[in-house]
Amino acid sequence: MVNNSDVHADWATEFYPGLVVRGKWHGQCYTLVRKLGVGVTGHVYLAQGQDGYVALKIGLDARAITTEVNVLKQLNKVQEMLGPCLYDVDDYVCLRGSAPFYAMEYIQGENVLDFMKGRSGEWVEVLLSQILTKLAQLHKQGLVFGDLKPANVLVTDKSYHIRLLDVGGVTEMGRAVKEYTEYYDRGYWELGSRRADPQYDLFSVAMMMIVCAYPARVNKVSGKTAAQLKKMVQKSPLLQPYQQMLLRALHGKYVCADDMRSALVKRKKGKLPTRKVVNRKRQLTDRVDLFLVASFVILLSVLYLLGEIF
Ligand SMILES: Nc1ncnc2c1ncn2[C@@H]1O[C@H](COP(=O)(O)OP(=O)(O)OP(=O)(O)O)[C@@H](O)[C@H]1O
């Protein structure tokens, strides 16, 4: 394992586009294309594998990488594609030691915040529905995502499917959330603890939607956070249709993600006209049709009579 602090600073220079990373144990080769990002536990690269592109996460801490691998394995068992598919786990021997890495499915897409830029409010519903479906699956496994934030929620380019990245925060229910980002954290907003429960994730979902409406970070008003967030939700035209739902999520009022999803579906149904309204409309249309047919018949009769006279 690479653990020296000098190595830590220089470490990234070991990995550059074109480098072939060969696994010590399985012998798979990956040619680095470009860096995709840097996380707490390592660097992520786009790489060309034997069967196409993969995302390669190369870490410094074998234990942290193993934890992530185990979570990915667990998520891969779930039917809904929660996280990226895990392909390979190995070590890369470089000049400075051995660096643990794993190869996973490369997910091509935009994070949810970039995706929403310039898009209409209808998309909030589409994205919310998908995120809640995924979370419901995860929660049924006894797990909480923990670090839900726009950077970790990708909307795929072709099919507009939601995929969750960065499983470092996935925590067993009942434990303290392992990894979180302050702005999406219930504890930071003084609206609950950091205990891993479904409501923790649902709070972050509501915060993500608030951030879609207000991308610039606002300063928290300590002691008045509930009123502050409520005002933001109520003032945003984008969030206005979802305000009841988002406020309930912020206050931990949903028992589970399915519960919140049902509220979303009901809200949608509420927008559809009721049967009574439909019937009234139908009766009106029938009357108009009758009037038009009668007018046409009268017109024909008048024309016929005129033809007979002249
Ligand atoms: N499977 C993947 N497909 C495409 N891009 C990925 C994939 N995994 C990670 N990335 C990219 O690499 C970046 C770093 O990912 P990583 O999961 O290590 O950490 P993070 O979520 O950015 O940060 P932190 O660990 O600090 O929370 C991500 O933001 C994303 O842009």
Q: Which of 73, 105, 137 is the last residue of a domain?
A: 105
Highest mean pLDDT among 55-64, 90-99, 163-172, 222-231: 222-231
Sign of CA dihedral 286, 287, 293, 296: negative
- 155, 166, 204: which to mutate for ligand 1, most atoms within 8 A of CB? 166
18 and 132 together in one domain? no
pLDDT of residue 219: 96
pLDDT of residue 155: 95
Q: How many domains does the chain divide into?
A: 2
Q: Could you tell me if the ipTM is greater than 0.85? A: yes
From ligand 1's centre to the CA of 38, what distance in Å?
A: 7
Instruction: Write out the two tokens for 10.
Output: 């220089």
72 and 136 together in one domain? no
Q: Is 155 exposed, middle or buried (0-12, 13-18, 19+ CB in 10 A)?
A: buried
From ligand 1's centre to the CA of 235, what distance in Å?
A: 32
Q: Answer whether residue 56 shows pLDDT above 60.
A: yes
Q: Which of 105, 135, 158 is the last residue of a domain?
A: 105
27 and 158 together in one domain? no
Q: Answer whether residue 272 shows pLDDT above 60.
A: no
The residue whose CA is least distant from atom 19 of ligand 1 is: 39
> 147 an active-site residue?
yes
Return mean pLDDT, the chain.
88
At 4, the pLDDT band (50, 70, 90 cuts) reads: very low
Q: Where are the alpha helices (DSSP H) in 168-224?
A: 198-213
Atom of ligand 1 nearest to the CA of 108: 4
pLDDT of residue 287: 67
At 95, the pLDDT band (50, 70, 90 cuts) reads: confident
Print the domain residue range for 40. Answer: 4-105
The residue type of 153 is: V
CA distance 68 to 169: 9
The mean per-residue pLDDT over the stretch 188-214 comes to: 97
The mean per-residue pLDDT over the stretch 269-279 comes to: 51
Q: What's the CA dihedral at 39, 78, 105, 172 to 10 degrees?
A: 10
39 and 80 together in one domain? yes
Residue 35 · residue 67 · CB < 8 Å? no
The residue type of 94 is: C
